[in-house]
Structure 1
């Protein structure tokens, strides 16, 4: 891979992917709607070509993808827009990849797995989503597999990291960084998985650089599971945060959802905070090598540092 296009480069995983690709001396075309944000994120990167555009505009996508080897599909949409936009956007990416002779690397989550009774979810686990958003994600996966495009699909758990704003942890971390009273979504005694975006990008780029990894699904888990209480303790240690943290329940989110379409859409995914889907990284470690494993302490320190520099200044 000499040149890559990252669609959704201004998001959390998009940002991490651009940085990881550049670190491997790959020329990157960073594509997103907001040129101002792209410039703020990547203006100091010599090997990044900033391209603002609309992922639904075929002419703009064709121009952006000219000469690329791999298209990293890292774009997402507000929950309330998923049904209208996700599959339509993937249709465009597939069309462009076919015309340009490029591969696709899809950033995916765990929603398509649905509720599971097993402890560790492998790539062979049957996907039976019960939620609207899980069914959309499974439809995207099937659409990509049924196309003629050489592709890989990477399943990632809940994320956190620099620039990862559309995540379940973002508001918690932001309030802690500000020294304000924070909320935590879900039971704080339940062990869950939060993947540092930098680690997710390292694993995904490694997969994309190899020829024998395509036309497969890959799980990339976090370094280990952690409870909300353990996570908050780390945050207190690294920031000196003294305030209490309120647990946000399903009932509270339902109430907020009466007035907020985006919060209304969160409710159906809250089963993941009660009975989390925990990914197995056995396939990756057997076939590729050791998974990237930044400790929660280091990952949270870097995320808070980034927030104070970029978001809270």
Structure 2
């Protein structure tokens, strides 16, 4: 791979993908709407070509993707826009890949799986989404697989990391840097997964570089499951013993959403993920890539805090 395009390059996972590709000497087209943010993130990177545009405009995507061998779809639109925009944007990205004879690597979440039932989620598990957003993600999956584009889809747990601003961990850290107490969404005693974006990007680029990875879905688990109580202890060690987390229950989340705008209200149906163990199996990806190096939560949180502090 000599050239790739990252759609949604100004987001958390998009940023990590651009940086991972550049670290491998690959030329990258960083595609997103906001030029100022793109300039701030990549303005000093010789291998990055900044291309502002709107993924709802298929002509802009097709033009930007010229010469790219792989298009990485890392665009994350607000929940409230999924119903009206997700299929359009997916179709445009597929078309851009078709028109440029490019492959497609897609960042996806775990919503299409539905409830885990407390078991590890494997790629061959039949998907039965019970939420509107899970059904929309499953429809996106079908659109990609029904196209003529060689594609792979990576399922990730919740992200955290440098520039990953639209995440629960970012919300918690941002609060904790200003105050002694911060909210942690979900029960603190339930095991969860949080994917450090740099680890996720490395695994995804590794997969995108292998012919045999295409035509398949891949679950990419985090370094290990972790509870909110364990996250709190890491934060105390790094930020001071006076720091602490309080649990934001589903009921509290529902009350907050009444006053916090449509985006938070749209997130309410996804709170089942935070209240039961929803853990991805990494058996398949480890079988192809071998045992991967992971960033510890201790190091990942420290690097995320450093980025937040500038």
* TM-score normalised over the length of structure 1: 0.96
Choose 186-195 or 57-66, whichever is displaced more. 57-66
User: Which whole-Å deviations, capped at 9, do the CAs of 1:174-208 have from their partners, x for residues lacking one?
Assistant: 12233453111000000100010000000000000
- 3-state SS of paired residue (1:152): strand
2:217 aligned partner: 217
Alpha carbons 1:12, 1:162 under 8 Å: kept: yes
2:77 aligned partner: 77
User: Which whole-Å deviations, capped at 9, do the CAs of 1:20-66 have from their partners, x for residues lacking one?
Assistant: 00011110000000000000001111110011111111221122101
Query: Structure 2: 5+ residue runs without aligned partners?
Result: none
2:101 aligned partner: 101
1:242 aligned partner: 242
Deviation at 1:246, TM superposition (A): 2.2
2:256 aligned partner: 256
2:152 aligned partner: 152
2:292 aligned partner: 291
Q: Distance in 1 between matches of 2:113 and 2:129?
A: 6
2:227 counterpart of 1:227? yes
Q: Distance in 1 between matches of 2:146 and 2:5?
A: 22
Q: Distance in 2 between matches of 1:258 and 1:238?
A: 34
Q: Distance in 1 between matches of 2:141 and 2:245?
A: 37
- 3-state SS of paired residue (1:178): coil
User: Which whole-Å deviations, capped at 9, do the CAs of 1:198-224 have from their partners, x for residues lacking one?
Assistant: 000000000001111101010110010
Choose 53-62 or 203-212, whichever is displaced more. 53-62
Alpha carbons 1:284, 1:291 under 8 Å: kept: no
1:199 aligned partner: 199
Question: Where do 1:111-130 residues align within 5 Å?
Answer: 111-130=111-130
2:47 aligned partner: 47
Q: Distance in 1 between matches of 2:111 and 2:198?
A: 21
Q: Distance in 2 between matches of 1:140 and 1:58?
A: 17
Q: Distance in 2 between matches of 1:58 and 1:89?
A: 8
Choose 61-70 or 170-179, whichever is displaced more. 170-179
Alpha carbons 1:76, 1:86 under 8 Å: kept: no
Question: Where do 1:131-146 residues align within 5 Å?
Answer: 131-146=131-146
* TM-score normalised over the length of structure 2: 0.97
2:277 counterpart of 1:269? no
2:170 aligned partner: 170
Deviation at 1:100, TM superposition (A): 0.7
Tell me the number of residue pairs that the alignment of Structure 1 and Structure 2 aligns.
Answer: 309
Deviation at 1:113, TM superposition (A): 0.4
- 3-state SS of paired residue (1:212): helix
Choose 75-84 or 235-244, whichever is displaced more. 235-244
Q: Distance in 1 between matches of 2:225 and 2:239?
A: 22
Deviation at 1:118, TM superposition (A): 4.8
Query: Structure 1: 5+ residue runs without aligned partners?
Result: none
Q: Distance in 2 between matches of 1:124 and 1:302?
A: 34
2:301 aligned partner: 300
Deviation at 1:292, TM superposition (A): 3.3
1:3 aligned partner: 3
Deviation at 1:7, TM superposition (A): 0.2
Alpha carbons 1:253, 1:266 under 8 Å: kept: no
Q: Distance in 2 between matches of 1:93 and 1:23?
A: 25
